[in-house]
A and B are shown apart, each in its own frame.
Chain A
Amino acid sequence: MIPLAASLMMLAAWETLVHTGMLRAAFFPPPTSIARTLLDLALSGELFKHAGMTLGRLVLSVVMALIPATALGLAMGWWRGVRTAADPLVNLLFPIPSIAFFPVVIFYLGLSEWGLLLTGAITPFLLITVQAAAAIGSLERTLLEAGRNYGATGWRLFARVILPATLPNLFIGYRLAVGVGFIVIVAVEMIAAKHGLGGFLWHSWQIRIEEMYVALVLIGVLGLLVTYGLEGLARRLMPWQVELLKMKEQH
């Protein structure tokens, strides 16, 4: 109750302050006028075009990262040799600020869609790799032994024992990766794209201020979705691990 009431009060205060002239409408247009613009843009379909573009880029770059990173991370966790070879390289690249890869990527690929996607995929790739390697590391030995005693080997051991046991940890990595990927995609769109929410935001602030706020609202909604929406999905997909997930969330 309190969160809703407080938010409504803040919006009402904003609206009145603009109408009494204490806030400049040129900088802070009243919420009602932002809502009207939002509705217009939604009806004309432009809004969904940009939001869909950003979402599509995010999904593509995370998917590009997800499969090879999971495979590499699991292999690093399982085989010592792979870990010895790959760990130093991953640790070397991981702390580099994600956005710094952008000029280097477009140096080779040009300012193309692939450049944006690849930049968006790099940090998710490193994050998922690290998390997947750690997931194997924290695998319970007893589970493995039990699986082997019941005769599971090779693919069956992997699909029936290792994967279900590591999935919650993998999922934490995926969730973080989507969050980081979103930041990078929006930043890159602002710097170098015409379409997508970031591009829309960057091109609208000098022209129509309401449109900039609409872009911000949508970026916020998408941000909330990628930050909190995936948690709900995890609960759905892995009911056997809900308690474990809850424990991890707290840390």
Chain B
Amino acid sequence: MLRLRTNLSSFASPIGVALLWEALVALRVLNVNYLPPPSQLVPHLIGLLLGGELWRHLTMTLYRLCLSFAFALIPALLFGLILGVSRNLRLALEPLLTSLYAIPKIALLPLVMLVLGVNERTLIFTSTLTSFVQMTISTTGGVLAVDRSLLEAGKNYGATGWRLFRYVLLPSALPDIFTGMRIGLALTLVLVIAVEFTAAQEGLGAFLWTAGQTLSAKNMFSAFTIIGLLGWTLSYGLERIGDWLMPWRERSSAAMFL
């Protein structure tokens, strides 16, 4: 019962904002062409979805996101694990990785464009790099943060090599690795959309940008809503999956919202 009530109250203020918006437009305080109210936006969004155009853009953005994530995943995990275990390699590559980590990856786009040309490969490569750097660093951090006493305990119970890795190291590093994947995906989504603004004809970013530039408020809000839903699904959906896969993990509120 309590649960139901909190759920209801969490809808109250968004609904309040929507109603206020609706009322202000009806009273002509807000211009309907600049801020079309929800009662016009929702049918428009449904129309766009049924017409198939928005789907095409969504599929394109999803395709780019998934492809670059998939390219980055295995190399980043392997590389991160190796860096976590080998101290010398870690020290040697630390300056390079730290710099790459600190540079917003979109700043590397011109360099990649120069080498690969202005095409789809450039976009995919830059996105892959974004995911790769984030996941490598999180994986290394995860391995480094493994409690030494856990490792000792594992060894004392006779775990070595693969078994030590599989049953001790991996379970305790997994939460950090997973957080890295989630942040990696979120940052990659930011990058894909930013690149789509200027350098692509298709994709949600391109659709949003064109809508804004051609002063089509309804299209703009529709694209914005879909991008928001995508971001929403990625953050909250992945957190849920993480809770389900790793019931042993502890989660800090800051990490949840990075």
Name A residues whose Cβ lies closer than 8 Å to a Cβ of B.
2-7, 10, 27, 84-89, 92-100, 102-104, 106-108, 127, 130-131, 134, 137-138, 169, 172-173, 176, 182-183, 186-187, 190-191, 198, 201-202, 204-205, 209, 212, 215-216, 219-220, 223-224, 226-228, 248, 250-251
Contact = CB atoms under 8 A, between A and B. Distances in A.
Interface string B214-228: 010100110010011
Contacts of B98: 224
A127 B252 CA distance: 14
A112 to B, nearest CB: 14
B228 A104 contact: no
Most chain B CB atoms below 10 A, which of A88, A99, A219: A99
Given A107-B215, A190-B106, A7 B95 contact: yes
Nearest to A123: B190
B212 A107 contact: yes
Given A212-B111, A227-B102, A108 B254 contact: no
B197 interface: yes
A159 to B, nearest CB: 24
A191 B114 contact: no
Q: Chain A contact residues: over half helix, strand or loop, or mixed?
A: helix
A98 B190 contact: yes
B48 to A, nearest CB: 16
Contacts of A216: 103, 107-108, 111
Most chain A CB atoms below 10 A, which of B9, B13, B14: B13
Contacts of A169: 254
A88 B145 contact: no
Contact of A250 (B17, B95, B145, B228): B145
Given A6-B93, A95-B234, A100-B205, 4 more contacts: A87-B10, A92-B14, A94-B235, A176-B258
Contact of A131 (B106, B230, B254): B254
Nearest to A173: B254
Contacts of A84: 9-10, 12-13
A103 B220 contact: yes
Given A96-B228, A190-B109, A3 B91 contact: yes
Contacts of A228: 102
Of all A-B residue pairs in the complex, the 5 with the closest CB atoms, nearest first, are A223-B102, A103-B212, A205-B110, A6-B92, A2-B91
B197 to A, nearest CB: 6
